[in-house]
């Protein structure tokens, strides 16, 4: 599967956070998140492993009980079923891969 760059297809995930599924295969799914300063991603968990890369902006990311200040170029991996949350410190773009594919993120 191949997907060309497009400004269309973003949808609201929660207040101040938009997401767009970029491409997916049989075992992985790639998502772009655009998050506005002040957004709070509530503490949650899911069975999917989640690997991310911060393109721009900044956030405090909590994985389990560890809080990390994430800056552009930083990356992370959250094992499945581990609670995590984030506080967005400035307008931010992150790219994340989920495995297995999250059916709830498919159009």
pTM of this prediction exceeds 0.85: yes
Residue 102 CA to chain centroid, in angstroms? 12
First to last CA, the chain: 15
CB atoms near residue 70 (< 10 Å): 22
Contact 20, 32 (CB under 8 A): yes
CATH 2.60.40.1120 fits domain 11-105: no
pLDDT in tens, 30-61: 999 999 999 999 999 999 999 999 999 999 99
pLDDT for residue 107 is more than 90: no
pLDDT in tens, 54-83: 999 999 999 999 999 999 999 999 999 999
């Amino acid at each position: 599967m191949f997907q060309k760059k497009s400004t269309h297809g973003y949808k609201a995930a929660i207040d101040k956070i938009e997401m767009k599924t970029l491409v997916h295969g049989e075992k992985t799914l790639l998502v772009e998140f655009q998050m506005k300063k002040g957004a709070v991603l509530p503490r949650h968990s899911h069975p999917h492993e989640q690997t991310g890369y911060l393109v721009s902006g900044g956030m405090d990311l909590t994985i389990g009980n560890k809080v990390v200040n994430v800056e552009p170029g930083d990356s992370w991996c959250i094992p499945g079923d581990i609670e995590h949350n984030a506080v967005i410190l400035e307008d931010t773009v992150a790219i994340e891969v989920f495995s297995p594919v999250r059916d709830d993120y498919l159009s």
